[in-house]
Amino acid sequence: MSTTIELSESRKALLATTGNTIVLGGPGSGKTTIALLKANQEIRSGVLKPGQRILFLSFARATVARVAQHAESLISKKDFSSLEINTYHGFTWNLLRSHGYLMRDGRTINLLPPPEAAARLSTFKTPDDRLNEKRRLFVEEGLLHFDLFAEKAATLLTRSHSLRQIICDTYPIMILDEFQDTNQDEWSLIRSIGQWSRVLALADAEQRIYEFRGADPKRISEFIADFQPSTFDFGSENHRSNGTDIGTFGNDLLTQANIGKKYSNVVIESYGFYRGRSHLFPLKVAVLKSLQRLIKNGGSEWSIAILVPTKQLMLQASDYLTADTDGLPSLNHDVALDTEAPSLAAVLIASLLEGGPTPAAIAQRLIRDLCVHIRGRKGAKLPNQAELDLVDALDGYLNSGTIKGPKKKRTVEAIQAVAQARFDFRLFGDPGVDWLAVRDLLDSSGIDVLQQVATDAKYLRLLHKGAALRSRLNELWRSAGTYTGAEVAVRDALVQEHFSASLKDWKGIHVMTIHKSKGKEFSEVIVYEGSHQGRILRGNATEREGAQALLALRVAVTRAMKRATILTPSNDRCPFL
């Protein structure tokens, strides 16, 4: 049954509202809790008809999982089935998967997974060209890119009055988490559904760190103008880190009132150069001190987040934490890794596991998969010219059987050697053993692009997909005594990750970029910026980029429940500190 919670008069007033509503408040102000209590009240009041549900949408799968867990403590098991909690991506994909054929003259649509999308878009250099190609892929090939989910869903509901009515009748009440981060397409979708459904928006203008994907400072005022909502502002109320001055520091950051001010629960440490030691030495020292504090205070329910500004610094930090060096121990941790490189590497290795009727057939398939890996492994970042030249040469080799240039010829010869070794290789039927054996063929090839595949595949452990992949491969081997179908099975297993909202255990040590920390919370947070690369505020940042960096730092610090530590180089301190 739902938990009894003491409510202020303003929160009681919110529960009594019957129209559109917007709830404003800073990190940890209890916006999600009051929204779930509101949902519980609506469900228990009997306002929903049979088959109707309240829809709760947020951006991150981790947030959705945490909200679902929180909801279970506030809403009875019987009433919980009347609440649907999903990501914006998950909701729009379900809509498009069922009804997207209406936009393609009855033809079906298929998902274009991000790793393969990155490969497809690698030759388009400008954002407009990439967007036009995404739209072409949908219209001509029926392949839907993640970035078009909201756009196509909004178009679908705008064009189909009857479908919009069905959706609104199914979800007469919508709760929109992190509303300030919605882009124009998501806003169009919300406006379409909001014509007939009641909307409760949860927002914090000072957590708007996604302007790069279309979040607009005007979004909250647009909502107020369009929906005429009852407005509730919980301001700087703080329940996440209650009893600390973490929230105070976060709010002071916005006006730079933090400069020169001392805080009990936010510590700023300047680090210098340590001769003979890694520049990440002070970071690991800070993590060990944090561990010591949390363990000393008792219990195993602790978590530490190491937040850095860039993906490159994230991987460097992960490698250094893993290493037993500089007189410091190795530390087990998780990394919030981008999926493109390890996913494409996994598909290539699975394809090698499948093999082929001849070494030539295996080599041909390996070249095709290698081209996809080179094009897409960097995600949104385009391959360099040398990589594109190699891909063009390999594509040409598949058509003509000839290739120019000694280095490119050595690459083809190495591919042929790997293919021959795979053809001669005796599989054991143990997916773990066979996978490593095939990966080692690539690693020992002596060719950079093949060794890169092996390296990228090692990061699969950080995606926690090893068990799922082994299970799929085991099924194939048991049913046929081969790995035929492995490529498709591995691709499907990795695609499911993008829609999974399974509850992640955030205990232990976690390394991620500052942007990835949005919507999460940890016992302690350590924010680390590098002395040259990986700065919180880049040296050539525009005024707008500076404002976004400041908001991002506030988000990072306020993920902490007990303590936040910020490490900045002593010879070039972050100007926000």
Which H or E run includes 270?
strand 266-271
Question: For 522-534, what is the mean pLDDT?
Answer: 93
Taking the C-alpha atoms of residue 171 and residue 547, their distance in angstroms, rounded to an integer, is: 37
502: pLDDT strictly greater than 80:
no
Q: pLDDT-derived band of residue 258, with 50, 70 and 90 as boundaries?
A: very high
Q: CA nearest 513: which of 8, 60, 91, 68? A: 60
Q: Tell me, what's the pLDDT at 239?
A: 62
Q: Which tens digits make up the pLDDT trace of 456-486?
A: 988 776 656 667 778 888 999 998 899 999 9
Q: Tell me, what's the pLDDT at 223?
A: 94
115: pLDDT strictly greater than 90:
no
Q: Tell me, what's the pLDDT at 497?
A: 62
Q: Tell me, what's the pLDDT at 361?
A: 95
Percent of the chain residues past pLDDT 70, beyond the cut: 94
322: pLDDT strictly greater than 60:
yes
Q: Tell me, what's the pLDDT at 212?
A: 66
Q: Are 238 and 223 in contact (CB under 8 A)?
A: no
Q: CA nearest 454: which of 327, 341, 531? A: 341
Q: Tell me, what's the pLDDT at 505?
A: 60
Return the SS3 of 512.
Answer: strand
Residue 271 phi, psi (nearest 5): -115, 150
152: pLDDT strictly greater than 90:
yes
Taking the C-alpha atoms of residue 114 and residue 376, their distance in angstroms, rounded to an integer, is: 9
Q: Which of 39-43, 392-396, 500-504, 520-524 has the lowest mean pLDDT?
A: 500-504
Q: pLDDT-derived band of residue 237, with 50, 70 and 90 as boundaries?
A: low
The predicted model scores a pTM of 0.73
How many other CB atoms are found less than 10 A from the CB of residue 464?
A: 12
501: pLDDT strictly greater than 60:
no
Q: Tell me, what's the pLDDT at 520?
A: 85
Return the SS3 of 288.
Answer: helix
Taking the C-alpha atoms of residue 478 and residue 455, their distance in angstroms, rounded to an integer, is: 29
Q: Which of 206-215, 415-424, 498-507 has the lowest mean pLDDT?
A: 498-507
Q: Which tens digits make up the pLDDT trace of 270-311?
A: 999 888 899 999 999 999 999 999 988 877 789 999 999 998
Q: Which tens digits make up the pLDDT trace of 54-103?
A: 999 988 777 787 788 888 888 888 899 999 999 898 899 999 999 999 99
Q: Which residues contact 24 (CB under 8 A, 6 or more apart)?
A: 31, 203, 204, 205, 220, 231, 232, 233, 234, 235
Looking at residue 492, its amino acid is D
186: pLDDT strictly greater than 90:
yes
Query: Tokens at residue 566, please?
Result: 């910020």
Q: Tell me, what's the pLDDT at 2?
A: 42
Q: Which tens digits make up the pLDDT trace of 384-408?
A: 899 989 999 999 999 999 999 999 9
Percent of the chain residues past pLDDT 90, beyond the cut: 61
Q: CA nearest 294: which of 505, 503, 507? A: 507
Strand partners, 145: 112
Q: Which tens digits make up the pLDDT trace of 398-444?
A: 999 999 999 999 999 999 999 999 999 889 999 889 999 999 999 99
Q: Tell me, what's the pLDDT at 238?
A: 63
C-alpha distances in Å from residue 495, one per residue of 111, 341, 469, 505: 9, 14, 12, 21
The DSSP-derived string for 423-475 is HHPPP-S-HHHHHHHHHHHHHTS--HHHHHHHHHHHTHHHHT-HHHHHHHHHH
Average pLDDT, whole number, for the chain?
Answer: 89
Q: Tell me, what's the pLDDT at 3?
A: 45
Q: pLDDT-derived band of residue 123, with 50, 70 and 90 as boundaries?
A: confident
